[in-house]
Amino acid sequence: MQGVNVKSEIGNLKKVILHRPGDELLNLTPNTLEELLFDDIPFLEVAQAEHDAFADILRNEGTEVVYLEDLMAEVIDGNPELREQFLDQWIYEAGIRTDIYKNIIKDYINSEYAGTKDMVMKTMAGINLQELPGSDTHLLVDMVSDRCKLVCAPMPNLYFTRDPFAMIGNGVSINRMYAHTRNRETIYGDYIFRYHPDFAGTPTYYDRNDTFHIEGGDILNINDHVLAIGISQRTEPDAIDAIAHNVFNDETSSIDTILAFNIPNNRAMMHLDTVFTQIDYDKFTIHPGIMGPLTVFEITPDGKGGTKIRERDEDLESILTEYVGQPVQLIPCGGGDRIAAEREQWNDGSNTLCVRPGTVVVYQRNNVTNDVLYKNGINCLEMPSAELSRGRGGPRCMSMPAWREAL
């Protein structure tokens, strides 16, 4: 499985990239929750056990599970000269600009985290002031700062591997994230898709240094010809224009239509995959709030190297029926019960990961939605989620498929 191959949301899942939550969650504090995009502090030990259960479910379904941290460590082990370049880049992107602190931090990491994977995990976990050697810097800021102050912020959202980069057919979008605190996460994908032997040479349809924001939760592969992207709180239409241009002008891509869904801008519908996800050839889970007229823009090549855009104002069912190629059934989160829907949507009831047509990984806690799925013939693989769900993301958010079999 050299390269990537994701031309649907439901094809048999053969390879997936995860990140096991690490010490970055221990650097979450009540005072930094809003900045780091969390509503609460997960209990790390339980979160890791839940994540391990998730990985085991996937392995039992025949999926190869690879970890982001291992891929990054393999890049540097295979190219030792990249270690210093990576550390310099990571320190700069963490906001460290003074030479004295650049040197202190680099010396600290190289001395205390000489092992490659240990170093990678430490860059994800972050550094607070009290960890650094107590030598006198003669800086006023150090004399007045709380010793618990974060010098390099953690990346607690990394276990949502869907967002920093996203597979599009046989290519990848390495994203520019909406929030500064998450934009640093894409550094790992940048190195992996440049240097890892399993992924180097993958066509890149968007780059982390491009201007506009886009996140992987807004990118859904409908089939080998149709790509859906959400215009959302975290994805700008300009980024979709750029991806459309790059995809349509890549001779190796079979995609000839991009559907840009203009979804409401709120936290409950943060990304397109919190609004609907495909779970079978003809079935989708949906957020009830998206029912009714929906503005969708159909983007296609104009035959001259550019694009043409047609606005569609039909309901979601009609649009999906047209592009999926058969009548579709929309299964609402919470089974249509408003209170259950609001509660379970908060815990990503419609954010499921399909491992093959009709078989999906779901959060155990969304029992109302799961019962509805069972009654509609869907095989639900339930995973524990008491702590992982505090990060406001479901099984799809926590996974980045790298290879799916053709339908």
More confident residue, 166 or 233: 166
Backbone angles phi, psi at 139, to 5 degrees: -105, 130
Two structure tokens written together for 28: 């979450």
Q: Which residues contact 316 (CB under 8 A, 6 or more apart)?
A: 276, 286, 290, 291, 294, 330
The CATH number that applies at residue 102 is 1.10.3930.10
Pure H helices in 196-277: 237-248
Q: Could you tell me if 90 and 229 lie in one domain?
A: no
Residue after which a domain boundary falls, among 152, 170, 191:
152
| 364-368, long-range: CB < 8 A, 24+ apart | 365/389, 366/333, 368/334, 368/335, 368/337, 368/340, 368/344
Q: Which of 333, 354, 380, 397 does the annotation list as catalytic?
A: 397
- pLDDT for residue 134 is more than 70: no
- Position 143 scores a pLDDT of 44
Most confident listed range (5-19, 332-346, 348-362): 5-19
Position 394 in a domain: yes
Examine the pLDDT at 247 and tell me if it is beyond 80.
yes
- Please check whether residue 204 is in contact with residue 172, taking contact to mean a CB–CB distance below 8 angstroms: yes
Confidence at residue 133, expressed as pLDDT on a 0 to 100 scale: 75
Sorting pLDDT into bands at 50, 70 and 90, what band is 287? confident
**Residue 118's domain spans which residues?**
70-152
Structure tokens at 195: 């240097």
My answer on whether 126 and 220 are in the same domain is: no
Element (H, E) at 128: strand 127-128
DSSP state of 50: H
Look at 62-76, 118-132, 142-156 and tell me which has the smallest mean pLDDT. 142-156
In sign, the C-alpha dihedral spanning 243, 244, 250, 254 is: positive
Please indicate, yes or no, whether residues 31 and 79 belong to a single structural domain of this protein. Answer: no
In this structure, the answer to whether residues 107 and 140 fall within a common structural domain is yes
Per-residue pLDDT tens digits for 158-186: 999 999 999 999 999 999 998 888 999 99
Domain C-terminal end among 135, 152, 169? 152
Q: What are the contacts of 267-270 at 24+ separation with CB within 8 A?
A: 267/233, 267/392, 268/342, 268/345, 268/346, 269/232, 269/233, 270/217, 270/232, 270/233, 270/234, 270/392
Please report whether residue 3 resides in a domain. no
Domain count along the chain: 2
Last residue of a domain, one of 111, 126, 152: 152
Query: Residue 31 — pLDDT band, cuts 50, 70, 90?
Result: confident
The Cα–Cα gap between 202 and 300 comes to: 23
Q: Which two tokens stand for residue 384?
A: 């524990």
Residues 225, 139 share a domain = no
Q: What local confidence, expressed as pLDDT, does residue 238 receive?
A: 95
Confidence of residue 140 (pLDDT cuts 50, 70, 90): very low
- Average pLDDT value for residue range 273-290: 85
Residue range 43-89, pLDDT digits in tens: 999 999 999 999 999 999 999 999 999 999 999 999 999 999 999 99
**What is the per-residue pLDDT for 358?**
96
In percent, how much of the chain has pLDDT > 90?
A: 64
CA distance 224 to 76: 34
In a domain, 8, yes or no: no
- State the chain's mean pLDDT as an integer: 89
Same-domain status, 236 and 106 = no
Give tens-digit pLDDT for 196-218: 999 999 999 999 999 999 999 99
Phi, psi of 6 (to 5 degrees): -135, 95
End-to-end CA distance of the chain: 17
Is residue 354 flagged as an active site residue?
Answer: no
Q: Residue 4: inside a domain, yes or no?
A: no
What is the spatial distance between Cα 13 and Cα 18, in angstroms, rounded to a whole number?
13
Per-residue pLDDT reduced to its tens digit, 379-407: 999 999 989 888 878 899 999 999 999 98
Within a domain: residue 7? no
DSSP reduced 3-state for 279: strand
